[in-house]
Amino acid sequence: MKIWAKLIIDGKNVKDTLYQDNSPLTFVSYENMLRKVAESLDISSPVTMMIHFRHFKKFHIHRFKADDFVESFEYDSMEIEWYE
């Protein structure tokens, strides 16, 4: 699976990364992927719930708002997209 993660301010992509992993998509692999993406973007990991995973699995895209992060988050959102 390839994931394109983007940090967005005022509707503009200000920082992004591409993550690739060969493991099948499960809730655990989704959480691990988010941790690694957050680490590469130098931000804290968002709080991950099953509803986030289901939405991503169904639509291949998910947007995390600042409220989804426990630590301070200086961006408007982080968007992840399944990139095939």
pLDDT-above-70 percentage for the chain: 99
Question: What CA–CA distance (Å, rounded) separates 80 from 60?
Answer: 8
User: What is the predicted pLDDT for the residue at 11?
Assistant: 93
Give this prediction's pTM: 0.88
The type of residue at 14 is: V
Spatial CB neighbours of 6, under 8 Å, sequence gap ≥ 6: 13, 15, 16, 78, 79, 80, 81
User: What is the predicted pLDDT for the residue at 31?
Assistant: 94
Q: Quick one: pLDDT band at residue 27, thresholds 50, 70, 90? A: very high
- Tell me the longest C-alpha to C-alpha distance in the chain: 34
Question: What CA–CA distance (Å, rounded) separates 79 from 62?
Answer: 6
User: What is the predicted pLDDT for the residue at 83?
Assistant: 78
How far is C-alpha 21 from the chain's CA centre?
14
